[in-house]
Structure 1
């Protein structure tokens, strides 16, 4: 009887995908986040690195801020920016949002943030829970390095 019960439990684990062979879920963290002090309240850029130390890919699907009417994900191709719907965050890898490359674009700021302030930003993902940040505002020429 015990052997039949154990065999049934193992069969159920194999069918449902439970077991040691399953990849670990995404494990996300954010570093290096900053917003350069913008010249006006019209628009600001956001830069950061999302690291995924988990065993499964994830996707950054959006962002928002209580200080902006909207936050868009932008890619830069041939020195031209355009909005995109998402960015991949690979398992065991990272997504870098940086000057001259992929980045966040904050539109319609409620006020012009100054160096030393923080901007609240929420990042949303396909699989992981949202990550809420208080992103420091740096000098306009800050590169994050």
Structure 2
């Protein structure tokens, strides 16, 4: 299991780092009730199906962009995201998307490992350990990027 290629784990660590850092930065700028609303909308869209065709992914991003525009538009004081603009809601949605793509890459690692390990199952501890290790290496670089 330790002989598996490490490039997917580097990608997983990078995507999860981007998700955490961008979620923390956007969460600091958004009002409290907006955070779970945006995250739930993204997760409800991305988790409806197992097959991820290019059309579906493009459709999810189109719907997410529409949600951001609809929620952030207008200047009425009673709107939940008045005065926030479009950048921070979009970054919150992107943070969820980074973590969702990291999960998709993890799934591909499991599928790719079956023929490499000659029918043995890949241990989830190995996948999470390598992913978390590369996330720990990448996260300080993501903080630097966002500051």
Q: TM-score, normalization: structure 1?
A: 0.24
Higher helix share: 2
Higher strand share: 1
Instruction: Considering Cα pairs closer than 8 Å and 6+ residues apart, tell me whether 1 or 2 has the greater RCO.
Output: 2
Q: TM-score, normalization: structure 2?
A: 0.23
